[in-house]
Amino acid sequence: MWMMYVIGFIASLGLALGLTPLVKKFAFKVGAVDVPNARKVHTKIMPRLGGLGIFLSFVITLLLLLPFLPETVSAREMNFIWAFLVGGTITVLLGALDDRFDLPAKLKFVIQIATACVVVFGFDIRIEFVNIPFHTYSALETWVGIPFTILWIVGVTNAINLIDGLDGLAAGVSGIAIATIAVMALVMGNVIVGLLCLLLLGSILGFLYFNFHPAKIFMGDSGALFLGFCLALLSLLGFKQVAIVSFLTPLILIGVPLSDTMFAIIRRWMQKKPIFSPDKGHLHHCLRELGFSHRQTVLIIYGIAAFFGVLAVIQSSAAMYNANWVTFVVICVMVFFLQIGAEVIGLIGKTKRPLLNFLSRLRMKVGAERGSK
């Protein structure tokens, strides 16, 4: 099986390197391009549809490897593969059409819900059990598990789009999250999820060669939505038992887009702006305003994504052994660094720094007490 992992990773990487330039020419030919405006960083017309290169590399490699899967692969795991392929195909087609025609947001949302329903009802993929921290595994009623699964798929599918603002950012963050899931899946013996992750990782790295700054092609919605869909399924099912998930682990895995979205909502609410109104207060915008270059900003966010990945691995391991004290430590560390980071960078606002102000007053108080002694 290890040989299949290696061959699959190399094949998907090679295909992405070969197919992405062809996708670039196709994007220009059909007019799927990104025109610069006041909110965008790039200054020239760029081809989109880069997600097609990722998708085709992944699918071609997977289909070639399917006949060689070990006989120990269960019918449920094969069902998951086909759900992954069908749902991913619908998602990437939706993204590709949006890259070309700029579809209305409501239409995209409806199709995403329909896609999630296909996965849930057509292939019976849903959350059946959940491990809530400081609690044992709990079975979910069907009426709870189904809408929860649909909501998760749609939400995470769109999450990657929110951080797709700099060259190589969305692809790199997605790759780090998928690599983290691969590590957890392989350690826990989940052969299929491990294989899917490695094929995706190879495809992403091959594409990233053309997408890292200065980018020659953008992934567009075809890539952002597809990778978001992949993360949605893999983050829920990439563990030892299919359809059993630790409540915190998938949230940590998508920590970068999730926290950026959370702070954006808080920021707009405090500024009395519509929650869904666009602004330049996202993580990558704030880092650029602090003086970091394009590449430095992307690499910093890669580091943050890797930090979340490490926390996810620790939390997943703790959940397996019901080590609730580890979960508590992970939550405290994550919340502390999220708040400190948000205040330093200015994600909430330039003057909203309650924790930093508290720590500053505490330091001054301790210093004064030491001085009086």
pLDDT at 242 over 70: no
The number of distinct structural domains making up the chain is 1
Report the alpha-carbon distance of residue 167 to residue 204 in Å, rounded. 13
pLDDT averaged over the chain?
A: 84
pLDDT at 246 over 80: no
pLDDT at 369 over 80: no
Q: What is the mean pLDDT of residues 117-136?
A: 78
pLDDT at 83 over 90: yes
| pLDDT attached to residue 162 | 77
Half-sphere exposure of 73 (CA within 13 A, CB side): 17
Q: Put residue 344 in one of left, alpha, beta given phi > 0 → left and psi -120 to 50 → alpha.
A: alpha
Instruction: Lowest mean pLDDT of 25-39, 90-104, 297-311, name the range.
Output: 25-39
The β-bridge relationship of strands 137-139 and 129-131 is antiparallel
Q: Which residues of 87-118 are buried (b: 16+ CB within 10 A; e: fewer)?
A: bbebbbbbbbbbbbeeeeeeebeebbeebbbe
- Taking only the tens place, the pLDDT of each residue in 18-67 is 999 999 999 999 999 988 765 555 568 899 999 999 999 999 999 999 99
Tell me if 301 sits within 8 A of 283, measured CB to CB: yes
- Sequence-distant (6+) residues with CB within 8 A of 291 are none
pLDDT at 245 over 60: no
Q: Domain range for residue 159?
A: 2-372
How many whole angstroms from its chain centre is CA 70?
29
Res. 76 pLDDT band, cuts 50 70 90: confident
